[in-house]
Amino acid sequence: YLKISKLALAFAIIRSKPPGKSCREYTEHLAKTVSQQDFGWMLKVEALEAEVLRLRQELLLSKICPRFCLENDASAETLLDKECINPVSYSSQLEDSGCDVSNDCAFSSLGIDSDFHRSEHNIDTSKHWLETISPLNLCCTSKEESLTAPVQFLQHLLEIRKLSEGRILQADFTELENDPFTICNSVSQLLDGLTVFYRSPKFPVSNVLTEAVCVLISLITDTKLSNHVLKKCFKKLEEFKKNLIQIILRNSSVNRFQALHAVSHTLALLGRNNILRNSLISLLLSEVRQFAEHLLQAHQIQAMYDITQYENIFPLCMILEQLLQNGTEESNVSSADYDGEEKIKFLKNIDQIILHLSDEFPLFSLYLWRVNVLLNSAQIQ
């Protein structure tokens, strides 16, 4: 049947071929026309799917908090409009090579670090918030604007959570269990949008992206909401962490250091959650161990090694050391309590690796030694 159909299609193309065109040219023209129609349908499908998600977000929020209302004339582009009217003043560091990242200047210049801490402490728990809340809107024209919908939905969720904690509102968050699709899709959109930005960052950084980072960190550190999010989106968060690690390792642009610093800071913030912290330590131990083994092998046979990856491994070492040194905010878990398969693999031959690399690569060997000490601190005690 398939052969007959193809033959019939070929005859139809030949018979309808306009004069002056070959069969091949006419076939390619028809194929291009059909693909353009398919692309148009795909755009319509994406728009409809976005509208369905928006309605599900509104419905879920209204179920969680019946008093919650989105009847307001403000648009979802408010945040983007503010950027155009009042652009953020960024450090001149963004215009140079970005090598100077001391004292967290680079990350502060991105606006993420300061905004995150400001959002932690300046939480509005007044009823006025309900009157000024902006409605969910998915009418977007860029990748940055596509983040506004999941960001606003999750912001509304966090605000309802804080207002209910202050007994200003009554909310039932068990509804999150009954509708896992909405929360999963919203978090997935947020993570995908951040991944796209970190792979090809543009400066100055949009306020939408700054808000996206703040919302993500607030979401996974919230004592009540994080349980729902981690249960439904753990795999997606793991994939996001792996993507960020690979972005750090594979970035070879000349002006990459500020972007890598921003990614590193986001990874460190994700490590505040105890569950994500342990899995992140495992991922970092694996990457650092594999690089150390490859570097040792290259050194022993006097082969060339990737200098860019050597430079990029240091942010991972610094994150790893930070996570091993510090416990989480939610609990007093000691770094010495971390135990896992990657720890055993890392400690197996680390002394020999440090011994052979210490002369040629003293800084990297020092980091390996410090991580080694932190991992062995429990046994020493």
Q: Give pLDDT, residue 126.
A: 34
pLDDT beyond 50 at 256: yes
pLDDT beyond 70 at 248: yes
Look at residue 355 and tell me if it is in a domain: yes
Q: What is the DSSP letter of 349?
A: S
- The CATH number of whichever domain residue 221 belongs to comes to 1.20.58
Boundary of a domain, candidates 255, 289, 315: 255
Give the residue, 137 or 165, on which the prediction is more confident.
Answer: 165
- Is 299 found in the same domain as 233? no
Boundary of a domain, candidates 255, 288, 311: 255
Look at residue 75 and tell me if it is in a domain: no
Written as one letter, the residue type at 57 is Q
Q: Give pLDDT, residue 144.
A: 65
- Is 366 found in the same domain as 300? yes
- Is 191 found in the same domain as 217? yes
Q: Is 133 left (phi over 0), alpha (psi -120 to 50) or beta?
A: beta
Task: Give whole-number Cα distances, 51 to 56, 140, 357, in Å.
Answer: 9, 12, 56
Q: Which domain holds residue 234?
A: 147-255
Task: Give whole-number Cα distances, 225 to 10, 27, 33, 302, in Å.
Answer: 58, 55, 48, 52
Contacts of 270 (CB under 8 A, 6+ apart): 217, 220, 237, 241, 276, 280
Q: What is the mean pLDDT of the chain?
A: 78
- Is 314 found in the same domain as 281? yes
Could you read off the pLDDT of 301-322 as tens digits, one per residue? 988 888 999 999 999 999 999 9
Distance CA 244, CA 226 (A): 21
CB 365 within 8 A of CB 354: yes
Contacts of 244 (CB under 8 A, 6+ apart): 195, 198, 263, 266, 267
Q: Give pLDDT, residue 215.
A: 92
pLDDT beyond 80 at 53: yes
Could you read off the pLDDT of 138-162 as tens digits, one per residue? 334 455 667 888 999 999 999 898 8
Identify which of 2-11, 98-107, 223-232, 323-332 has the greatest average pLDDT.
2-11
- Is 237 found in the same domain as 280? no
Q: Give pLDDT, residue 119.
A: 47
Helix (H, G, I), strand (E, B) or coil at 195: helix
Query: Looking at residues 267-273, what average pLDDT do you find?
Result: 89
Tokens linked to 213:
């980072």
Q: Give pLDDT, residue 71.
A: 42
Least confident segment among 30-39, 72-81, 332-341, 349-358: 72-81
Confidence of residue 179 (pLDDT cuts 50, 70, 90): confident
Look at residue 218 and tell me if it is in a domain: yes
Q: Which of 316, 315, 94 is nearest to 203 (CA)?
A: 94
pLDDT beyond 60 at 282: yes
Distance CA 295, CA 300 (A): 9
Query: Looking at residues 272-293, what average pLDDT do you find?
Result: 92
Could you read off the pLDDT of 183-196 as tens digits, one per residue? 999 999 999 999 99
The number of residues in the chain equals: 381
Give the residue, 235 or 334, on which the prediction is more confident.
Answer: 235
Q: Give pLDDT, residue 327.
A: 52
- Is 237 found in the same domain as 277? no
307-325 and 225-250 helices cross at what angle (nearest 10)? 150
Q: Give pLDDT, residue 162.
A: 87
The 3-class secondary structure across 44-110, one letter per residue, is HHHHHHHHHHHHHHHHHHHHHCCCCCCCCCCCCCHHHHHHHHCCCCCCHHHHCCCCCCHHHHHHHHH
Query: Looking at residues 197-221, what average pLDDT do you find?
Result: 86
Q: Which of 340, 326, 225 is nearest to 272 (CA)?
A: 326
Backbone φ and ψ for 183, nearest 5 degrees, come out as -65, -40
State the Cα torsion 86-91-93-98 to the nearest 10°.
-80
Look at residue 166 and tell me if it is in a domain: yes
Structurally, how many domains does the chain consist of? 2
Distance CA 151, CA 220 (A): 14
Look at residue 93 and tell me if it is in a domain: no
Distance CA 199, CA 195 (A): 6
Least confident segment among 5-14, 79-88, 169-178, 183-192: 79-88
- Is 248 found in the same domain as 188? yes
Confidence of residue 337 (pLDDT cuts 50, 70, 90): low
- Is 178 found in the same domain as 152? yes
Look at residue 350 and tell me if it is in a domain: yes
Look at residue 284 and tell me if it is in a domain: yes
Tokens linked to 158:
């966090």
Confidence of residue 253 (pLDDT cuts 50, 70, 90): confident
- Is 366 found in the same domain as 285? yes
- Is 298 found in the same domain as 242? no
CB 82 within 8 A of CB 207: yes
Query: Looking at residues 233-257, what average pLDDT do you find?
Result: 91
Q: Give pLDDT, residue 283.
A: 94
Q: Give pLDDT, residue 280.
A: 94
- Is 373 found in the same domain as 282? yes
Q: Give pLDDT, residue 75.
A: 35
Query: Looking at residues 106-119, what average pLDDT do you find?
Result: 47
Confidence of residue 124 (pLDDT cuts 50, 70, 90): very low
Boundary of a domain, candidates 201, 221, 255: 255
Tokens linked to 144:
């940055």
- Is 155 found in the same domain as 186? yes
Look at residue 141 and tell me if it is in a domain: no
